[in-house]
């Protein structure tokens, strides 16, 4: 398997700008997850897709955040009107169905820095 791919690896932007991240899961993995990790903390769950359906969203995912997975393959995470507190590593993971015990495999993340 090629691993989960995330783009870009780093993003620096000014407060108030919109940013979009892309995640390409491992091929044939029908489940896709987004997490956020701040310095010194473990990753925190944001949202989960099964194929193109977004089935779960964390309360961390404010209305400035939107995630899509239009054809059940790659996914995008957009943050509108970025704030200082959005600075973090955004991680994507994917897993194979149908068994729910299959492990999630992570990409190396997009590090977002808000100036």
Binding-site ranges for another protein (CB under 8 A): 4, 31, 33, 35, 41-45, 48, 55-56, 58, 91, 93, 99-101, 103-109
Residues 6+ apart with CB under 8 A from 29: 94, 95, 96, 97, 105
Residues forming a β-bridge with 53:
50
CB of 79 to another protein, least distance (A): 19
CB of 52 to another protein, least distance (A): 16
Note the Cα 50 to chain centre separation in Å.
Answer: 14
Answer for the pair 59, 44: CB distance below 8 angstroms, yes or no: no
Nearer to another protein, 19 or 32 (CB): 32
Nearer to another protein, 80 or 96 (CB): 96
């Amino acid at each position: 398997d090629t691993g989960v791919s995330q783009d870009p690896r780093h993003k620096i932007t000014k407060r108030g700008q919109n940013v979009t991240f892309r995640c390409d899961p491992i091929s044939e993995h029908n489940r896709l997850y987004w997490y956020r990790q701040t310095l010194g903390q473990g990753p925190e769950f944001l949202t989960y897709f099964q194929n193109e359906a977004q089935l779960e969203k964390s309360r961390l995912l404010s209305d400035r955040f939107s995630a899509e997975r239009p054809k059940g393959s790659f996914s995008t995470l957009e943050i509108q009107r970025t704030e200082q507190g959005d600075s973090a590593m955004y991680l994507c993971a994917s897993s194979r169905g149908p068994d729910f015990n299959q492990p999630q495999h992570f990409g190396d993340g997009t590090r977002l820095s808000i100036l």
